[in-house]
Amino acid sequence: MSKLLEPWTLLVVHSLLGLFMCGLIWFVQIVHYPLFEAVGREHFSRYEQLHVQRVGWIVGPAMLAEAVSAVALLLAWPPSPVRTLLWVNLVLLALIWISTAVWQVPQHETLRSGYQTEAARFLVASNWVRTVCWTLRAVILAGLLTVRPPAQ
């Protein structure tokens, strides 16, 4: 088996991705999204367009790699109690993707036409779903990093 596909290596890679995304979502939740209000209505549409474009270059590949590595990790990990936590991790990741598709993306689409207070507030409020899910995943993944790796 390739070293990259070994369960422990997959766990480390997946954990790094999850911890990165947890830190990023907290920054977005506490700093970035609330500052939308301060951009000013005159330039907000262009700002939102650039926000979506630039953030997409970071978040898109990271979320995709996170999803692929979560599934690969679950498939590679031998039967053990750890697999239950890997399933919980995958369910939380699915909730993040669903929240992104159902709530965050539509709000960003609405905001592309200009700042709208209600859409911005809903974006911040609904983003707590992703923030909580990524935080729970970070706790799970950090805990799993303390588990003895499976025998190869």
| Domain range enclosing 105 | 3-144
| CA atoms of 23 and 31, how far apart (whole Å) | 12
Quote the DSSP letter at residue 149: P
Can you give the pTM of this predicted structure? 0.93
**Residue 146: phi, psi to the nearest 5?**
-90, -10
Q: Can you count the helices (H) and strands (E) in the chain?
A: 5, 0
Residue with token string 């200009």: 114
Q: Is residue 103 part of a domain?
A: yes
CATH (domain of 43):
1.20.120
Task: Give tens-digit pLDDT for 46-90.
Answer: 999 999 999 999 999 999 999 999 999 999 999 999 999 999 999
CA 66 from chain centre, in angstroms, equals 8
Domain count, the chain: 1
Tokens representing 97 are 């993707």
Token reading at 86: 């890997």
pLDDT tens per residue across all 152 residues of the chain: 566 679 999 999 999 999 999 999 999 999 999 999 999 999 999 999 999 999 999 999 999 999 999 999 999 999 999 999 999 999 999 999 999 999 999 999 999 999 999 999 999 999 999 999 999 999 999 999 998 877 76
pLDDT attached to residue 148: 80
Alpha helices by DSSP H, listed for the chain, are: 7-27, 41-76, 82-99, 105-111, 117-144
Within a domain: residue 152? Answer: no
pLDDT of residue 1: 52
150 within a domain of the structure (yes/no): no
